[in-house]
Structure 1
Amino acid sequence: MAEHRDAMNALQQRVAERQSTSLLQLIATELEQMIINGALKGGDRINESALALQLGTSRGPVREALRQLEYSRLVEFRTNRGMFVREISVDEAAQLYDIRAALFGLAGRLAAVNATPADVEALRAKVTRLDQAVPAVDDYYPGNVDLHRALVGLSGNPRLIDLYDDVSKELHLFRRHGLETETARTTSNCQHGEIIDSLAAGDADLAERLMTAHIRSGKERMLSAVGGPGTGS
């Protein structure tokens, strides 16, 4: 009987830990989505109490979720001031864009081999939805993030997916800068269409070139928008 109770207690503890982990992941995902949507911007101070109230939870899980986001460099703790959405310099953003371009290009090469007709159809549907969202950056940008993640996901390489996601998270603010104008969003989505055509054709070389060029184009638009070096995804 005692052994049975011990086994049940261990099981309950594992279930509680799983529920806690799921809650933290849910909160972290919601916070990241707020940054993607522009509700939280670079340099904004994060009010744990207000967020806990908004998310319907206590401050403890919010604090733990913020620590997860700090590890992924989306937020940063400032001594005696609290937690803030992380800001990066234009130079650092440009360097991250170069890394992201290489990762995205490699993902394209792999995706061209892996993509099925059903995958291509799903991607085309995302591009169609983005066409409809072009007039407003707040509508376009989250869909753009989703499409890029889907493209990289087709690489079938978990480490590549994680690396791309980590780099991209640090660039949310600057990626939005590169998509502020309707012309930029139209150009971006036209490039998406060309990329998907290359995947449908199974052309790995072309997919790699187009996906690398897509990120470099976004970098130039970002630099132009913020007045950095270059001529301005």
Structure 2
Amino acid sequence: MTEQTEAINALQQRVAERQATSLLQLIAGELEQMIIRGELRGGDRVNESALATQLGTSRGPVREALRQLEYSRLVEFRTNRGMFVREISVDEAAQLYDIRATLFGLAGRLAADRATPEALEALRAKVSRLDAAVPVVDDYYPRNVDLHRDLVALSGNPRLVELYGDVSKELHLFRRHGLETETARHTSNCQHAEILDRLAHADAAAAGSLMEAHILSGKERMLAAVRS
């Protein structure tokens, strides 16, 4: 085998690996979105065959994607039963909310020095779309997740974005409880608008405080919902 042939084979192998990785990321991302949209809920058994058919792929990539989600603590394997969407206790959810609130507050303080008028305008448009989505929680919730992700990204701190994302993923199943009434969704979105106002004034202390309080108010709504 010539050096040129070896190089071509190595390149083809790298391309194949990249394609396989991209496919797994695509499937894992879609499965995560199904959890966010409420199509898969805590305690649901994940049917690999049905998912493979729905996603137009074989069971192998679906199984590998589920292993990625298991690492993210969104699903869990139960011996002799298969893969299930993970359930978390109220106490664990409350603890995760506290961590998430601290991270969100830090993101707000950092974002105040970095938020451009263009970025804030784009976020205000998303807040307006959330107003239009208020009557439908399954529409509101994914948009809400997207807005929060963008707010954290304004921090310019990739590690913070990653940590916030990891904690938020575990709360997908519980966070819905705090947004299931029209009043709760309206209150939440009004807080979004206030946060953007503080970011527009480059008020790091106020932005950080509002963003932390925003998450903690979501925690209280969740606790009230599960206790009622």
TM band (smaller chain): over 0.9
Alignment root-mean-square deviation, CA: 0.8
Corresponding residue of 1:110:
110
Percent identical residues: 82
Q: CA deviation at 1:43?
A: 0.5
Matches within 5 A, 1:1-233: 2-227=2-227
Corresponding residue of 1:231:
none
TM-score by length of 1: 0.97
Partner Cα distance (2:185, 2:168) in 1: 18
Q: CA deviation at 1:173?
A: 1.1
Partner Cα distance (2:112, 2:134) in 1: 26
Question: SS of 1:77's equivalent?
Answer: strand
Amino acid at match of 2:5: R
TM-score by length of 2: 0.99
Question: SS of 1:73's equivalent?
Answer: coil
| 1:22-72 deviation per Cα after TM superposition (whole angstroms, max 9, x unaligned) | 000000000000000000000000000000000000000000000000001
Partner Cα distance (1:166, 1:71) in 2: 10
Partner Cα distance (1:5, 1:68) in 2: 34
Amino acid at match of 2:20: S
User: Which ranges in structure 1 are unaligned for 5 or more consecutive residues?
Assistant: 229-233
Partner Cα distance (2:106, 2:112) in 1: 10
User: Which ranges in structure 2 are unaligned for 5 or more consecutive residues?
Assistant: none
Q: Which structure is higher in RCO with an 8 Å CA cutoff and minimum separation 6?
A: 2
